[in-house]
Amino acid sequence: MKIILSSNSPRRKELLAGLGVDFEVKVIDGVDESYPDTLPASDVAEYIAREKAAAYSAVADELVITADTVVVVGADILGKPHDALAAHAMLREISGKTHQVVTGVCMKTQKEQHSFSVATNVTFKELSDNEIDYYIKNFRPFDKAGAYGIQEWIGYIGVTGIEGSYYNVMGFPVQRVYEELTRRFGVEIGNVSKKL
């Protein structure tokens, strides 16, 4: 089965490659990433992942993987900041608190579609304005939900606790993806198959 990763994220590409899976990247631009206001914050990422999958017409022998990640603080969803001011506001909002990172994934073949969400709780220390400004200036986290990458400087100095998948916080719950690929879709990775 040919695996298609429909994502521009270099982190998702790196994590999927880490499984030893052969895949190619194909992205459909212009997918509407809006969602109903009535949707619970914890369901938004999976909803958007399904919308991304709906834009892709899988052909026989293709398995398309789409994903979306959101940062949830209380009932608020933090997406990607559009500038330094928005990034600063987001980092100030997660400072000194525990928030949830939710990644929704959709896997689609010509015959079947399966989606799921994985949530991870992340706790940050109280960040100073200098720390926030240094991070934004040097790492420009404008392509990251919640305005941070846990694998970057801000994660090194700011994260005091994590409950759940670290890789999910990077934007791709690679352990769960592996389970779905091998067990649900029968993808063989090396000598590993759903027969295990």
Looking at residue 189, what DSSP letter applies? B
- How distant, in Å, are the alpha carbons of 12, 45, 142, 155, 173 from that of 105? 11, 8, 22, 24, 8
68, 129, 133, 143: the catalytic one is 68
Task: Kindly state the tokens that stand for 150.
Answer: 């846990």
Task: Say how far apart CA 65 and CA 5 lie, in whole Å.
Answer: 5
**Where is 136: in which H helix or E strand?**
helix 129-139
Specify whether 129 is catalytic.
no
Nearest by Cα to 127 from 104, 148, 102: 148
Q: Which two tokens stand for residue 94?
A: 């997660």
Q: Which residue has the tokens 């789409």?
A: 66
Q: How far apart are CA 65 and CA 196, in angstroms?
A: 23
Q: How does DSSP classify residue 56?
A: S
Cite the active site residues: 68
